[in-house]
Structure 1
Amino acid sequence: MRTAVVTGAGGSLGRAIAQRLAADGCALALTDLPGDALDETAALVRSHGAQVIAAPLDLTDDAELDTFFTRVADELAPVTTLVNNAAIYPTVAFLEMPVEKYDEVHRVNQRGYWRCAQLAGRQMLDPAVADEQRTMVNIASITMHGGWADLAAYVATKGAATSLTRALARELGPQGIRVNAVSPGAFPTAAEEIYDDPEAYSRQVIERQSLKRRGTPAELAAVVSFLTGPDSAFVTGQTIEVNGGWVMT
């Protein structure tokens, strides 16, 4: 059985990813900030019959991260799959953003990905883990292509996620670990609450996309499932765009 860690599991995308990996037969270790959302995801995943650990976690706290990954190995099995999904996205004009706020975004969105990958990668080298099961997926963002006003810190960290993906794919490939990224477009999630008129924003998204409908979290989760499963056994170092044809690379 595969053991998958999903960060940011309380949000719409993280929840869909967790449910899909549970349906794929994974045991799940889920984490997010404290709150009902994480518990709700855990309950949904258990409905698939999966083994689940759900723990509130501060990705900027190294001691908490160490404890969490040790718990996963002890209570489930060594990590075979990591999905780095958690991120924060404060909307602040670049010239007005306090350095402390930028540092917070960086610690969660970039350093958090880096540290989780390091801890998961060490467990993936356990002899009990088969080569074809050793996978990481970093969730990036369409914003890294065009830039978004008032989201400079977030955009910078999502660009970093793709660069980290390539570097880890190169370095960890000889150990049988595959590392890829998924770059979501504008999915209808709580993230869109930053816009004053979500309906107008939705119309704008559809106008820009080649496919004239909104995507669903389940469609993003299907791509993550592919990248963490056996059908992508020769795919690493890639960033897959899932945006309905808004941006084409």
Structure 2
Amino acid sequence: MHQKVAIVTGAGGALGRATALRLGADGFAIGALGRPSDELAETVSQLEAEGVAARMLEADLRDATAIEAAILGTEREFGPVEALVNNAAIYPSTPFLEIGLGEYDDVVTVNQRAYFYAAQVAARGMVVRRSGAIVNIGSITWNGGWSNLASYVSTKGAAVSLTRALARELGEFGIRVNAVSPGAFPTKAEEINGDAAEYSAHVIEHQALKRRGADAELAAVVSFLVGPDSSFVTGQTINVDGGWVMS
């Protein structure tokens, strides 16, 4: 029986898990893609506990062959992939003058090349069916810089640029491509910012909404962008940041 199928990369992380759970609740079978980890297994376990058909796709996003195998394997098991959420990212915190090319290449491979290639593999099937939705997760950091994150910030800007290029090129096939740029959600990523309470106060000071965001609030926007209510929306970037960046 045909069912809606979505793949979420980085599904073991907080935002990836929230997205996978929301899309599962929306009726998608979920391919949870990421490096083997207890967190990824927990995401699949939670999906299955909710009655969602789920598959753990163990793949290092540095490995293009593994990305392709994961997507095609999901299609064989569940059916055509109708939604892809490129969410996985790494974010080493290093002063620009100290970033080695090895570290830079690693960030670009995971945060940029993997987005490109996963979208390419998924889109081949979407083109044949003349429908599909791709969401690339960016970051508000690309709007205004951010110290010690030059590699990460540059790849998040690339995610937005890729979104626009693919929206333009794939639109004639009925494929919609959008981006979501999260603000500072309270995830493990915040460990790079030092004292948690101090950083939380810093975030709230800069936001228009004076509270921290919940993972489910980001997932709700992704749900909108892959669902029928956004059928005439493509090439857009939505900041989900409590009003930190307004542009």
Q: Same fold (TM over 0.5)?
A: yes
Alignment correspondent of 2:203: 205
What is the CA distance between 1:199 and its match in structure 2? 0.8
Q: C-alpha distance in 1, partners of 2:97/2:204?
A: 31
- Aligned position for 2:221: 223
1:137 and 1:181 in contact (8 A); partners too: yes
Which residue type is aligned with residue 58 of structure 1?
D
Paired position in structure 1 for 2:15: 13
Contact 1:136/1:228 (8 A) holds in 2: yes
Give SS of 2:135's match: strand
Residue equivalent to 2:185: 187
Q: Residue in 1 aligned with 2:83? A: 81
1:37-79: CA deviations, max 9, x gaps?
Answer: 0000001111221111102211121221121112111111111
- Tell me how far apart the structure 1 counterparts of residues 72 and 179 of structure 2 sit (CA, whole Å): 25
Contact 2:22 2:220 in 1 (8 A): yes
Offset, 1:126: 3.9
**Residues 78 and 126, structure 1, Cα contact 8 Å, conserved in 2:** no
- Hey, which bits of structure 1, 4+ residues long, moved more than 6 A? none
Matching residue within 139, 144, 154 for 2:137: 139
Of 31, 36, 41, the residue aligned with 1:34 is 36
Partner of 1:68: 70
Correspondent of 2:119 among 117, 120, 128? 117
Q: Is the 8 A contact 2:64 2:114 kept in 1?
A: no
Cα drift, residue 125 of structure 1: 2.8
Aligned counterparts of 1:208 and 1:89: Cα–Cα separation in 2: 22
Count of aligned residue pairs for this structure pair: 245
Residue 171 of structure 1 aligns with which residue?
Answer: 169
2:62 aligns to what SS in structure 1?
coil
**Equivalents in 1 of 2:60, 2:235: separation in Å?**
27
Residue type of the alignment partner of 1:70 = L
Identical columns (%):
58
